[in-house]
Amino acid sequence: MKTVMVVVGTRPEIIKMAPLIRALQANKIPLIFTHCGQHYDYNMSQQFIEELELPKPDFSYKLRAYSQGIQTARIITYMEKLLKKTTPKLVLVEGDTNGVLATALAAVKLGVSVGHVEAGLRSFDFRMPEEHNRRLTDHISSYLFAPTETAKNNLEKENVWGKIYVTGNTVIDAVIQHLPIAKKKSKILESVHFKKFALATAHRAENVDDLTVLKNFVEAFAEAPIPVVYPMHPRTKKRLRQNKIYAKVRKIKNLEILSPLGYLDFLVLMEKCEMIITDSGGIQEEATAPPIRKPVLVIRLSTERPEAVKAGFAEVVGVEKDKIVKAIERTLKQPKKMSGKSPYGDGDAAENITRIIKEELDF
Ligand code: UD1
Ligand code: UDP
């Protein structure tokens, strides 16, 4: 039987693949669902599969924290064995993680076509592991599902080998599909201590693995002219602990640190907050979804999401404490002029990708 394998490995991949899994199922395309194991804590992985009511993965790999090289190598080895056993016609990967590159490499070396969802993003910041992963994956994919024209242009400039399609980003589908459920089910607002707050996240390696930047973030949140609610990524918690500042950070009055949240709770916080302060990729996109529409201060030196900046949502503010605090003050005083439409599509990206797969692979 001809099948399509959908591979996920981290929190954002599960969220962004959820609408596509549903669309493939609705179109009766035989599906193999695989978790390659990059994220493994319940609240970074299985929680999302359950909450988003996805099927139980047909195959799951158990991987623990290793160096980037070992992590990538182990996923290649696992995926090669699995692909030989299951022989899918197409492997779909999403985004720019080590698991994405590892899976795409394993597939292409066995002659299995790769479809890259969210192809063509470029930060032009070569310190970032994500920039290596997305560039390499784009060049070994047969089908490149670019979310925007900008992403398509990046791919054309690099003369990629595969076929390019502009589809929108499935994260907008995810917001539209889940926010109404989140508003009914989530109780997160009952436990958050502040009525008005900024929502913060930070986990990028080039930020939190650098003690100066990590401290800048914490100090900026402590001095912010609005309380900050901060669901903390395990990588960041680990770095704070290693540097023996986690206990101190927990005592900051203005700052409410939470464990990584489920998607429904996080959606409700995005909808309710005054602004988002983040180095996340996906959150920059979600903030542009019409039911969310929130200003985003990007605490990084670059973004691979320039569309969110152009549409008035995002601002790249850098990683220095004073610049972050000033940007928060400015955003509170002068509300941003944000487009009524998301540059990442209308919530039909998963339908678009499914239609292309049906046509190209004759399902
Ligand atoms: C990875 C991706 C990043 C993505 C992010 C989503 C790469 C290079 N990075 O970053 O692009 O934005 O996922 O959240 O692929 N950890 C746990 N439990 C987990 C997962 C991670 O404790 O379930 C801790 C471990 O200490 C681990 C560290 O976080 O060593 C880093 O995890 P890793 O998956 O390598 O990178 P992320 O920072 O999560
Ligand atoms: N998210 C979540 N709970 C959290 C923090 C984030 O559900 O506590 C969601 C968020 O809505 C977005 C995704 O996780 O869809 C972003 O993941 P992350 O920032 O880890 O990765 P990135 O998008 O930067 O690759």
Burial grade of 207 (CB within 10 A; 0-12, 13-18, 19 or more): buried
Q: Does residue 33 have a pLDDT over 80?
A: yes
Average pLDDT rounded to a whole number, residues 21-40: 98
pLDDT of residue 331: 97
The residue whose C-alpha atom lies closest to atom 7 belonging to ligand 2 is 263
Over the chain, what is the mean pLDDT? 97
Q: Does residue 266 have a pLDDT over 90?
A: yes
Percent of the chain with pLDDT over 90: 98
The residue whose C-alpha atom lies closest to atom 31 belonging to ligand 1 is 235
Give the number of whichever ligand sits closest to the CA of residue 284.
2
Q: Write the pLDDT tens digit of every residue in 307-355.
A: 999 999 999 999 999 999 999 999 999 988 999 999 999 999 999 999 9
Alpha-carbon dihedral 305, 147, 35, 281, rounded to 10 degrees: 10
Domain 178-333 maps to which CATH number in 3.40.190.10, 1.25.50.10, 3.90.1580.10, 3.40.50.2000?
3.40.50.2000
264 Cβ closer than 6 Å to some ligand 2 atom = no
The full DSSP string for 118-151 is TTT-----TT-HHHHHHHHHHHT-SEEEESSHHH
**Distance from C-alpha of 131 to C-alpha of 153, rounded to nearest angstrom:** 16
Nearest Cα to 351, choosing from 343, 359, 339? 359
pLDDT of residue 54: 98
Q: Does residue 65 have a pLDDT over 80?
A: no
Percent of the chain with pLDDT over 70: 100
Q: Does residue 62 have a pLDDT over 90?
A: no
Region 4-168+348-361: CATH code: 3.40.50.2000
Average pLDDT rounded to a whole number, residues 279-307: 98
Say yes or no: do domains 4-168+348-361 and 178-333 share a fold. yes
Q: Write the pLDDT tens digit of every residue in 104-150.
A: 999 999 999 999 999 999 999 999 999 999 999 999 999 999 999 99
Give the number of whichever ligand sits closest to the CA of residue 203.
1
Secondary element (H or E) of residue 5: strand 4-8
Domain ranges of the chain: 4-168+348-361, 178-333
Residue 324 identity: I
| Residue 84 CA to ligand 2 centre (angstroms) | 32
**Distance from C-alpha of 309 to C-alpha of 315, rounded to nearest angstrom:** 6
Closest ligand 1 atom to 98 CA? 15
DSSP state of 57: P
Give the number of whichever ligand sits closest to the CA of residue 280.
2
- Rounded to an integer, what is the distance from CA 255 to the centroid of its chain? 24
Average pLDDT rounded to a whole number, residues 174-203: 97
11 Cβ closer than 6 Å to some ligand 1 atom = yes
19 Cβ closer than 6 Å to some ligand 2 atom = no
| Residue 172 CA to ligand 2 centre (angstroms) | 13
12 Cβ closer than 6 Å to some ligand 2 atom = yes
Closest ligand 1 atom to 97 CA? 15
pLDDT of residue 53: 97
Closest ligand 1 atom to 43 CA? 23
Q: Write the pLDDT tens digit of every residue in 223-248.
A: 999 999 999 999 999 999 999 999 99
User: Which residues are CB-contacts of 281 (< 8 A; sequence separation ≥ 6)?
Assistant: 12, 95, 96, 121, 130, 304, 305
3-state secondary structure 204-272: CHHHHCCHHHHHHHHHHHHHCCCCEEEECCHHHHHHHHHCCCHHHHHCCCCEEEECCCCHHHHHHHHHH
Q: Write the pLDDT tens digit of every residue in 351-361.
A: 999 999 999 99
Q: How far apart are the first and last CA of the chain?
A: 11
**Collapsed DSSP state (helix, strand, coil) of residue 45:** coil
Q: Hey, which of 7, 8, 10, 243 would you mutate to test ligand 1's pocket, going by the most ligand atoms within 8 Å of its Cβ?
A: 10
